[in-house]
Amino acid sequence: QVQLVESGGGLVQAGGSLRLSCAASGRSFRNYDMGWFRQAPGKEREFVAAISWSGGSTYYASVKGRFTISRDNAKKSVYLQMNSLKPDDTAVYYCAAGAVPYSPVMPTSTPLYDLWGQGTQVTVSS
């Protein structure tokens, strides 16, 4: 069974850091783009960051320079290092796997991902 499992969320003060992890199983990991999304209460799920199967990355404007996405293909894992956290970063964070192997385009929208984790809560206090 294909599965994504996130971990690493929690409560942190503004200006602090957290590192989210996502472990994949059941599918060839290295051939797919991976992404992080987040959803705050009452808001739509939004793109945060993505890393391609070839190692390139892209970020949502509001997190660029503060968040870093990385992957370890040997461990079938993707990570999101979040620094200088702000209260506006509070949300449930979801890991997702791209739907197309060796995609030529970096996916930044939810329809381009076909596998999702259960989410992990990140709360940033002011």
* pLDDT tens per residue across span 38-62: 999 999 999 999 999 999 999 999 9
The yes-or-no verdict on residue 1 having pLDDT over 90 is: no
Angle at CA of residue 90, ends 5 and 45, nearest 5°: 65
Statement: residue 26 has pLDDT above 90: no
Question: Looking at the predicted structure, is the pLDDT value of residue 126 above 80?
Answer: yes
Helix %, strand %, coil % for the chain, to 5? 10, 50, 40
- Give the pLDDT of residue 16: 98
CB 97 within 8 A of CB 34: yes
How far apart are alpha carbons 61 and 6 in whole angstroms? Answer: 23
The average confidence (pLDDT) of the chain is 95
pLDDT confidence of 97, banded at 50, 70, 90?
Answer: very high
Compute φ and ψ for 58, nearest 5 degrees: -150, 155
Provide, rounded to the nearest whole percent, the portion of the chain with pLDDT above 90. Answer: 93
Residue 2 has pLDDT above 80, yes or no: no
